[in-house]
Amino acid sequence: MFVRKYLKRKIYMPYIKVFLISIVCMSILLIFIPMVITHIVPDNMRDDDKDNASYPYDKVDLPKTISVYRTESGSVDKLPFEEYIKGVVSCEMPSTFHSEALKAQAVAARTYSAAKVINSETYGNPSAHPSAPLCDSTHCQVFKTEKELRNIKGSEWMKDGYEKICDAVDDTKGKLLYYKGELVQQALFHSSSGGATENCEDVFTAAVPYLVSVESPYEDEATHQDEETSFTVSEFASLVRSAYPSTDFGNISSDNIKIISRSSGNRVDKIKVGSGALTGRQIREALGLSSANFTIDISGDTITFTSNGSGHGVGMSQYGADGMAKKGYSYKKILSHYYSGTEIY
């Protein structure tokens, strides 16, 4: 009996050993591999993915369809909501941009549109287009239907560019930006900031907690960098006088045109013009400059404006988003950078 037991133990012992060693090895691998991966993957490429986390607030019910006022025909198109977002992203961001930038644009456009539709249910449609909550121009967001895009951009672009945009919209389907449990009302964006975005109150009237000035460091590929526009002093004077006829500028000369102050995003806040003063935004609009982020150089009778960036400078910089994406940042990181304190659900 003892001999049999001894023999049995001797036969099974090596198998038991191998089994135990395997268990130990597997445990080590399971514990250490994730630790190694977390240290290899750079921080900007990791997402705090909250998709599975429970959202503490009520989520917004996205509309299934959307009505869009077509500015050229004067008619109203009703189409599926996500299809509309694909048309907006196609018009608002080049398809050559990184897919993470396109996803960020899709979430921003979806949030902006959802807020407009939901608000219209309570307050009615905007007076500019009483028949629909959104129009297809820069007044709201530029939009074209799939058929219109095919006619304008051709079937090749539909195969690569449009497909890439559709993927970005589908990959973020239904996702919206929230701030402290409320749907973000103004997911504003612009082409490029020139290095830093603006506080909302420095460009528009009211402060918005998630539209605050942030650095936008990756805009190397942006257009409208160091853009020079020159006028004679008399050309400059006549442009500002005709744009702001009620302002008394007195005598405008090369000695009395001076930048007085700048905003935190480096745009011109106030500028002295003759005996009057204008905001940087007013000068930008009067002269047709790409940005209020400009410097002035006066030489003899010539006044040269050198501007950086394009657009109002508030919210997400599109070139900045593309630059971040190319540096490895995800769309969630891009959105939380440009819309401070927001969350995506």
The CB-of-138 to Zn ion minimum distance in angstroms stands at: 8
The CB-of-135 to Zn ion minimum distance in angstroms stands at: 3
C-beta closer to Zn ion: residue 88 or 283: 88
Q: According to CB under 5 A, which residues from 138 to 197 bind Zn ion?
A: 139-140
C-beta closer to Zn ion: residue 89 or 135: 135
The CB-of-136 to Zn ion minimum distance in angstroms stands at: 8
C-beta closer to Zn ion: residue 145 or 293: 145
Q: According to CB under 5 A, which residues from 22 to 51 bind Zn ion?
A: none
The CB-of-188 to Zn ion minimum distance in angstroms stands at: 14
Size of interface with Zn ion, in residues (CB under 5 A): 3
Q: According to CB under 5 A, which residues from 105 to 144 bind Zn ion?
A: 135, 139-140
| Helices 99-123, 318-326: inter-axial angle, 10-degree rounding | 140
As given in the structure block, the two tokens for residue 292 are 């209020």
Q: What count of residues does the chain have?
A: 345
Task: Please check whether residue 325 is in contact with residue 101, taking contact to mean a CB–CB distance below 8 angstroms.
Answer: yes
DSSP string, 152-189: HHHHHHIIIIIHHHHHHHHHTTT--EEETTEE-S---E
Task: Please check whether residue 69 is in contact with residue 136, taking contact to mean a CB–CB distance below 8 angstroms.
Answer: yes
Q: According to CB under 5 A, which residues from 195 to 214 bind Zn ion?
A: none
C-beta closer to Zn ion: residue 133 or 195: 133
Instruction: Decide: is 289 part of the binding site for Zn ion (CB under 5 A).
Output: no
The CB-of-137 to Zn ion minimum distance in angstroms stands at: 6
C-beta closer to Zn ion: residue 141 or 291: 141
**Nearest to residue 294, comparing CAs of 252, 201, 208, 231?**
231
C-beta closer to Zn ion: residue 9 or 139: 139
The CB-of-87 to Zn ion minimum distance in angstroms stands at: 15
Alpha helices per DSSP H over 41-98 = 81-92
Strands of the 76-80 sheet, one edge to the other: 76-80, 65-69, 134-135
C-beta closer to Zn ion: residue 125 or 291: 125
3 — phi, psi (to 5°)? -65, -45
The CB-of-131 to Zn ion minimum distance in angstroms stands at: 11
H or E element that contains 149:
helix 146-157
Q: Which residues in this chain contact Zn ion in the complex, by CB under 5 A?
A: 135, 139-140
